[in-house]
Structure 1
Amino acid sequence: MKIALLTYSTKPRGGVVHTLALAEALAALGEDVTVWTLGRGGDPGFYRPVSPAVRVRLVPFADGPAGETVGERVLRSIATLREAFDPAPYDIVHAQDCISANAAGRCVRTVHHIDHFTTPELAACHERAIVEPFAHICVSAAVAGELADGWGIEATVVPNGVAYDRFATTDPAVRASWRSRLGHYVLTVGGIEPRKGSLDLLEAYALLRADHPGVRLVIAGGETLFDYRDYRARWEQRAAELGLDPVVLGPVPEDELPSLVAAAGAFAFPSHKEGFGLAAMEALAAGVPLVVRELPVLREVFGSAARFAGPPRELAAELGHALTADDPDRRAAGHALAARHTWRTAARRHVDVYRSLGATRADSA
């Protein structure tokens, strides 16, 4: 099959990570795969090298005029990708986010998670990207349930894969280097933004320090299309009020991230909204104790491999247990869970979906 996978960015956000890993796994199965994306701000390519078996079509997307709103940027993103993308050569057009789904026209859509936007342009983009695709894939049953309850849409569930070997086997010297630089630390990956529960994690960190004064909070990642400056300002103000100085690394080079994760004393994942939790699954692959927010989707995905917490006080307590408790059974469960989630398996299940869609179209012709 000739398959087009569409995403909205070259940056290491979860949906982009998913798109590239899926594309490479599909190509390894012998499929003809092209990834389409927007090259924002002059980006010459993706955040990491892509297998030469995968074609990449990068559509230049210049910075907008001063004062451009998020809504205006979203509309310009859709228009730019739509103008460049020609669906005609492809058997399957598969969009991974609301921007690419709006640009693609008739397509398969992976709904990673369901957002609730207040910006009118984003809200309309999100709605169209749910109701207009002719087939839907979700990375968890919880998100598929939201689609069914909210829109009456039946989606196929295909869980994410994880780059298990990259995170399970890291260089001890590089891990030691991170620990020398950062000390004993709790890590979170995803930046500072509302969906990631960053303010709750900050409050939990203040409580955690009462019993673990030497532990540091390290925050990696944070590439995003959206403007979270107001939230970031509130976060920084609250950190100052609490007398905290977390380490904010920003985006970490792809080849350094696994060792940063593996060197952590614990991994915090207090998101308010997730579809799967790929960064958390990478932490399990690295053998790092994981604490996640008490959400149905995270119960579904992580089960006995993670610790669960609600408000900041619970989060602080569970992080304290994760930092100090020797829990080989939970660690082994985490390794086994991550090892089962291969991109090869995900790719095979996508191929099954694509073929079934082709048969459906043929039957109805």
Structure 2
Amino acid sequence: MRIALLSYSTKPRGGVVHTLALAEALADAGEDVTVWTLGRDGDTGFFRRVDPRVTVRVVPFGAREGEGVGPRILRSIETLREAFDGRAYDIVHAQDCISANAAGECVRTVHHIDRFTTPELAACHEHAITAPYAHVCVSGAVAEELRDGWGIDATVIPNGVEADRFERAAADVDGTGRWRDELGRYVVTVGGIEPRKGTIDLLEGFALRERDPELRLVIVGGETLFDYRDYRARFDARAAELGVEPVVLGAVEHDELPLVVAAAEVFGFPSTKEGFGLAAMEALAAGVPVVTRDLPVLREVFGSAVRFARDRRGFADALAGALSEPDRHRERGRALARRYSWAGAAERHRELYRRLADPARARGGHAVGSTTTLPSTARSSSCATASPARDSG
């Protein structure tokens, strides 16, 4: 099959990591896969090397001085839409709201469901849920939200995990030792400082536990389309009030990330919305204790392999427990991470694609992979006027 996977960025965000790993696993299974994305900030390729069996198409997307979030979202959709032609593919699979709005008729993976206040973004997310002809969710909990909120039945295909990569990092004494020499003992979180990641809750939980002056809080990542400067200012002010000096590493090189995670004492995962929790699953593969927010989706995915917390006091207690009993869930966590492979995820996607591509199951006379677009005069307004009551990330 000729398969197009569409993403919105070349940066190391969860959906982009998912897209590349799935593309490579599909190519490994013999499929003809092309990944389409937008090249922001002058990017001409992804944050890491991509298997050459996967064709990569990066559409240039330059910055505009003073452009707000809403206009940037609409311009992102228009730019990708103008470059992409779905008629070249048997399956078009969008991985986020921007690419789903740009792709025309497509399959859509809904990684998690969220709320947004920017009207253009909220409405575009709504359209990106209702317009696709088939849906994938990476957990049953998110599929249930989709069913309850929109009456949509999604196919549940969990993420894969590069468990071997993180297990190798844990065994790399020199690599992890290098990070421990630089940072000392630390709790790490991946995802940056932003509201959905719940970073302030982790900060406060870190400060509430019994103080250990040698333990640090380290924050990795944070590439985003959105403007979270107000939240970052609140985070910095709260850190100063609490007397905590977090180490904000920002983006870390792809080959270094497993080492940073594996060298940590505990992995904190305070996200308020998740579809699967890939970063936390990678930490389990590295043998690092995980403390995560108590969400139905994370209960479903992680079971008894992690410690759960509901609020800052809960995070403080869970962090203390993980620090005092680091081995308690280690083997259980590693065994869980090994259960999820990208090869398995790719095969389940192939089964879905074959069903969708079967002419006998075609929807309403539309060929799979055909592209439908709104008239040029209505494209932007279609996102700006749809109901923003619910939206998806």
Residue of structure 1 in register with 2:190 after alignment: 189
Residue of structure 1 in register with 2:120 after alignment: 121
CA distance in 2, matches of 1:3, 1:267: 35
Residue of structure 1 in register with 2:386 after alignment: none
Name the amino acid aligned to 1:5. L
Residue of structure 1 in register with 2:243 after alignment: 243
Task: Say if 1:11 and 1:326 are closer, same or farther in 2 by CA, change over 3 A.
Answer: closer
Q: Which moved more, 1:28-37 or 1:308-317?
A: 308-317
Name the amino acid aligned to 2:121. L
SS in 2 for 1:88: helix
CA distance in 2, matches of 1:158, 1:292: 22
Residue of structure 1 in register with 2:203 after alignment: 202
Name the amino acid aligned to 1:146. E
Residue 212 of structure 1, CA deviation: 2.5
Q: Which moved more, 1:211-220 or 1:335-344?
A: 211-220
Residue 323 of structure 1, CA deviation: 1.1
Task: Say if 1:194 and 1:326 are closer, same or farther in 2 by CA, change over 3 A.
Answer: closer
Residue of structure 1 in register with 2:151 after alignment: 152
Residue 314 of structure 1, CA deviation: 1.0
Residue 327 of structure 1, CA deviation: 3.1
Residue of structure 2 in register with 1:299 after alignment: 299
CA displacement 1:56-92 (0-9 Å, x = unmatched):
000000001x221000000000000000001111000
| 1:71-220 → structure 2 map (5 Å cutoff) | 71-170=70-169, 171-208=172-209, 210-220=210-220
Name the amino acid aligned to 1:12. P
CA distance in 2, matches of 1:169, 1:86: 40
| 1:1-12 → structure 2 map (5 Å cutoff) | 1-12=1-12
Name the amino acid aligned to 1:308. F
CA displacement 1:125-181 (0-9 Å, x = unmatched):
100000000000000000000000000000000000011111011221010011111
Task: Say if 1:363 and 1:279 are closer, same or farther in 2 by CA, change over 3 A.
Answer: closer
CA distance in 2, matches of 1:115, 1:126: 9
Q: Which moved more, 1:211-220 or 1:1-10?
A: 211-220
Structure 1 residue 346 and structure 2 residue 340: aligned? Answer: no
CA displacement 1:5-37 (0-9 Å, x = unmatched):
000000000000000000000000000000000
SS in 1 for 2:149: helix
Residue 213 of structure 1, CA deviation: 2.8
**Contact 1:212–1:320 (8 Å) recurs in 2:** no
Q: Which runs of 5+ in 1 are unaligned?
A: none
Residue 358 of structure 1, CA deviation: 1.5
Task: Say if 1:327 and 1:88 are closer, same or farther in 2 by CA, change over 3 A.
Answer: same
| Runs of 4+ displaced beyond 4 Å | 362-365
CA distance in 2, matches of 1:363, 1:97: 22
**Contact 2:288–2:326 (8 Å) recurs in 1:** no
CA displacement 1:277-330 (0-9 Å, x = unmatched):
0100000000000000000000000001110011111101111111121434x2
SS in 2 for 1:169: helix
Residue of structure 2 in register with 1:254 after alignment: 254
Residue of structure 1 in register with 2:34 after alignment: 34
Q: Greater relative contact order: 1 or 2 (C-alpha under 8 angstroms, separation 6 or more)? A: 2
TM-score (norm 1): 0.98
How well do the aligned residues superpose, as a CA RMSD in angstroms? 1.0
Name the amino acid aligned to 1:52. P
TM-score (norm 2): 0.91
Q: Which runs of 5+ in 2 are unaligned?
A: 366-393
CA distance in 2, matches of 1:201, 1:364: 49
**Contact 1:186–1:267 (8 Å) recurs in 2:** yes
Q: How many residues align?
A: 362
Structure 1 residue 221 and structure 2 residue 232: aligned? Answer: no
